[in-house]
Structures are given as structure tokens and as C-alpha cells.
Amino acid sequence: MVHTKINQTDYEDALFREAEGLELLRDALEAAGVTDVKVPRVLSVTEKQLEMTAIMPQRQSEALLVTLGRGLAAIHNLPQSRYGLDRDNYIGLNPQKNIETDNWGEFFADYRLGYQVSLIKDAGLRRRFEDMLKSRRTVLIDWLNEHCAGPSLLHGDLWSGNVLFDGDNPWLIDPAVYYGDSEADLAMTEMFGGLGPAFYEAYEDVRPMTAEYPRKREIYNLYHFLNHYNLFGGSYLGPCENAFALIERL
């Protein structure tokens, strides 16, 4: 069966970037020897539509959450050579800016938080957040670099809606891939309720979380809350304010 996704963005290359992300995830699963986590196979892609393997979603189970946790950790354990990505792609309906770099903290401060802040339409709020980032930029960069073990391939948009289960396997869909701190993916899974204890326990059996994960989670999810604020408005401002307050306390 074939699933056809229509390009509903304003960007002609959006589906091409998504297809590339799916293939990067597929290659990583193969390199890690993971056979029980799946990625839709890209059948064809144009500016207007992406044809790929159809998935028949069913309810998740604890066993499949364990499979997903172990598989994601295996992807994250693959050694990578740099942070970022060699081309821009998309996070939801917004552009995701990328460069290749060996400085994770600088990349996240500038190309994740800084870029999303630059999209804020409210000039007063944008200036306030820009000033906060500028004043804490060096501290934030140093702290992120200190607590990152190295680059991993990230799904990039790993909330629960982008994981499907077909009864036999978990499937990863709708990626926004780049190379970064593995705990940025874990943080996103918790943004809208989490994937359940079995997932996190299985992940940690393969790749233990750092002691700073609770604070990193709030800072990494600031990127997604800023993106949601820029796309959908006011209800996402509070979590942004809370995360900036945490950055000011680093």
C-alpha cells in the first residue's frame, strides 16, 4: 500500500527535505543493526507530493515502546563527525536553518533559539528575548558543550504524533533531521506527555541520560515552544518564558 503526502507548506523543497530525512534515518537504522524499528520507504517525491510506504496504525504496546527505546538509543550511539546539517530543512511549517560545525552550543544558541527568536512578529517581545539570549549566550554555549557527549543523528521532531505503531513495529515519520545532542530528541518526546516509562527505561539501558537532562530538556524544548509560538500564538508563550528564566539561572 502507498501513502501520498501532499505538500501543504509554502516551500517547494519541503517534501524533498523530508524524503532525505527519512533516508538518513533508514541508513542509520541499518548501520546500527536495528531491524525492528521502521521508516517509511520513499517511492517517489516531487514538489507537490511524497509517495511512501503506508502504515496501518494500531495501539502502542509496552513491548513496542521497549523496541522503540532501544532502537532510538542505537541510532544515537552511532558515531557522527559534526553537528548541524549541510542544508536547511523544515521544522513543521517553518524553515530550520543549518550549518555544519564542531560547536554544538553555538549551533543550538544561534541556529535553533536565535533563529526562532528572529521570527517573532511582536517587536518588543523579540527584542526582549534577543537581549536575554545575547546576555547569556556565552554561558549557554559553554554549558551545552560541557554536557554534550558528541553528535548523534536526531529525528528532530520526535513528539508522540511522529511515532506510529502497526502491531509489529514502531515507525518513525515526519523527521526534521540534523546532528546534535541525543537528549534533544528525548526532550521532544516529553513535550506533549511523553512515551511512557517502558520507552525511557529501555533507552537508558542502552544509552544512559546525563545528570543534567532535566534542565537540558527545558532548554531544548524551548526551540520547539518558540516554533509553536511563531506558528500558533499565545498559549505557547508561557513555556518560552519559563525556559528563558532557566537559561538566566545557569
Q: What is the pLDDT of residues 81-102, one digit of tens each?
A: 999 999 999 999 999 999 999 9
Mention every residue, 6+ apart, whose C-beta is less than 8 A from residue 110: none
> Is residue 64 within 8 Å of residue 170, measured between CB atoms?
yes
3-class DSSP state for residue 84? strand
pLDDT digits (tens, 9 = 90+) for 135-192: 999 999 999 999 999 999 999 999 999 999 998 999 999 999 999 999 999 999 999 9
Closest CA to 136 of 114, 104, 151: 114
d(CA 207, CA 64): 18
pLDDT at 234 over 90: no
State residue 136 phi and psi, 5-degree precision. -110, 10
The upper half-sphere exposure of residue 164, i.e. CA atoms within 13 Å in the direction of its Cβ, equals 15
157 is annotated as an active-site residue: yes
If you average pLDDT over residues 36-58, what whole number do you get? Answer: 97
Identify the CATH number of the domain defined by range 59-248: 3.90.1200.10
Does this model's pTM top 0.95? My answer is yes
Beta strands in 54-210 (DSSP E): 83-84, 89-91, 94-96, 100-101, 152-154, 163-165, 170-172, 178-180
**Confidence at residue 104, expressed as pLDDT on a 0 to 100 scale:** 98
Reading the block at residue 37, the C-alpha cell is 524499528
Q: Crossing angle for the helix pair 182-189 and 62-77, nearest 10 degrees?
A: 160
Return the biggest CA–CA distance within the chain. Answer: 53
Active-site position among 10, 88, 157, 166: 157
Q: Where are the domains of the chain?
A: 59-248
d(CA 153, CA 192): 22
d(CA 173, CA 161): 9
